[in-house]
Structure 1
Amino acid sequence: MRVLIVDDDFRVAAVHAAVAGAVPGCEVIAQATTLAQAREALPRSDLVVADEYLPDGSGTELVGAGDASVLLVSAADDADTVRRALVRGAIGYIVKPFEMRVLTERITAYVRFRQSLAAEGRLLQVEIDAQLGMLRPRLDPGAPAKGRSAVTASAVADLLRDSGRPHTVMAVADAIGISRATARRYLADLVAAGEVELLLRYGTAGRPQHSYIWSR
């Protein structure tokens, strides 16, 4: 995945570039310190990590300007600025200062999101929700989603973690003794948390078979 870093401070840009470049599957193709420079590199980019305040404009102007997704990283924390960026379609907004692990986590999540979208064929609603959930940071990754049982969530996670091999929804349901609908919900939670990877296997005909494997 090709990443463009945009920040008016070249030292900050270099730090963000180092973080992005260390994420598996990412390649930093350019660093820009102005909006004009960013626009030149935009067509070659898949993801833009941009500051809001630039000498000749704002990072938000890059949102929707091309096919690349934009993650805003800025000291601007006023509601109007954040709202404008998100409404236009930014995939996220990180307020400076922040720990570099936060940027790593957001970029890693976006890599997983793009990989999940590369799948062909029809998707179940729970799988679409899981893909969108990859972009949403969880305040407590260890806590089950609302309405979920911590015991069941742990059982599903332990099954996949300990086996080290892919499982279908039916296999998980049968192994734990829950319905397939319930298994799908818990598996979707794990995919959204980045703990489990959704795999699609294509046969000779019909819909692709979905399976899940522990990714940590």
Structure 2
Amino acid sequence: MSQDFTVLIVDDDFHVASLHSSYVASVPGFTVAGHAGNAQQALQAFHSLRPDLVLLDVYLPDGSGLDVLRQLDCDVIMLSAAADATSLRMAFRRGALAYLLKPFGPEDLAQRLRSYARYRRLLDRATSLDQEAVERARRALLGGEAAVVAAPARTRSATEQTILEALAGAAGRPEALSALEVARQVGVSRATAQRYLSALADDGAVGIQLRYGTTGRPEHRYARRP
């Protein structure tokens, strides 16, 4: 991806919003554009920030996130403790791409975001769609291993192969490397390495780990999957 997808997080609990923000920031290719704590702030933030994706709660202090949903002209994933069938059906009827029940862990959200990235990349590359492309995009959006398996295999570029070899490590012992370390080994810029690593992570060939340094800021480490 040449540019990160921007994300607006809507949740009335500041601590929960901060936690979800850290989850989003841990996924390469995504940037948190802002937060909103209620329905009114959500609409104002949407119009000022124009995010690619909104992570939207159902329960808001001044209204329902489901009412906000139908006013948002962008992609939306619902993150909510609302576990009733009526809310779920209404969310999908009003255009939500996914519905993730609280509480959830970072990998649960990361999987949805990676699926969203695959979905967007497939559509952004297409000049026109046939039914096969429509089904491929739908499978990508559903996410999980099924989407990876269902998608047709593609040929790795020379740079991707070199990056995977670098992640294989010495004597076949896998290593978890930062984007900068990969860039130095492969002989490309950090931005280029990051772009290829993100694509490989989306395809399931590379896993992403978080390592916290002395400043507390997480560093992404990439490891080749078996």
Select the residue among 37, 44, 56 that pairs with 2:62: 56
Unaligned 5+ runs, structure 2: 162-201, 206-224
Instruction: Report the Cα offset of residue 98 of structure 1.
Output: 1.6
Per the alignment, do residues 142 and 130 of structure 1 end up closer, same or farther by CA in structure 2, a change over 3 Å counting?
closer
Q: Identify if the C-alpha distance between structure 1 residues 93 and 40 changes in structure 2 by more than 3 Å, giving closer, same or farther.
A: same
Aligned partners of 1:162 and 1:75: how far apart in 2? 43
State how 1:32-181 maps to structure 2 within 5 Å. Answer: 32-43=36-47, 44-138=50-144, 141=146, 160=155
1:17 aligns with 2:21: yes
Match of 1:186 in 2: none
TM-score (structure 2 length as normaliser): 0.62
Alignment gaps of 5+ in structure 1: 146-152, 166-193, 198-215
For the residue of structure 2 that corresponds to 1:29, the secondary structure is strand
Deviation at 1:64, TM superposition (A): 3.1
Structural RMSD (CA): 3.2
Q: Please name the residue that 1:29 is paired with.
A: 33
Task: Find the aligned partners of 1:144 and 1:17 in 2 and give their Cα distance.
Answer: 29
Distance in 1 of aligned mates of 2:110 and 2:42: 21
Matched residue type, 2:203? E
Whole-Å Cα distance in 2 between the matches of residues 74 and 97 of structure 1? 8
* In 2: Cα distance, 1:66 partner to 1:76 partner: 20
Contact map agreement 2:139 2:147 (CA 8 A) in 1: no
After superposing on structure 2, the runs of 4+ consecutive aligned residues of structure 1 that deviate more than 6 Å are: none
Conserved? CA contact 2:140–2:148, under 8 Å: no
TM-superposition CA deviations, 1:73-93 (whole Å, max 9, x none): 111101011111111110010
Asked whether the equivalents of residues 3 and 48 of structure 1 are also in contact (C-alpha less than 8 Å), the reply is yes
Larger mean CA deviation between 10-19 and 117-126 belongs to 117-126
Deviations 1:30-60 (A, max 9, x none): 1111111111111221100011100011222
Structure 2 CA distance for aligned equivalents of residues 144 and 9 of structure 1: 37
Is residue 7–residue 51 contact of structure 1 (8 Å, CA) maintained in 2?
yes
Q: TM-score, normalised by structure 1?
A: 0.65
CA contact (8 A) 2:148 2:204 kept: no
Greater helix fraction, Structure 1 or Structure 2: 2
Equivalent position SS for 2:7: strand
Q: CA deviation at 1:124?
A: 2.8
Q: CA deviation at 1:135?
A: 1.2
Alpha carbons of structure 1 residues 118 and 31: separation in structure 2 relative to 1, 3 Å: same
Offset of residue 141 of structure 1: 4.0
* Superposed CA offset, 1:160-199 (max 9, x none): 469867xxxxxxxxxxxxxxxxxxxxxxxxxxxx5389xx
1:170 maps to none
Give me the whole-angstrom Cα distance separating, in 2, the residues matched to 1:39 and 1:122.
32
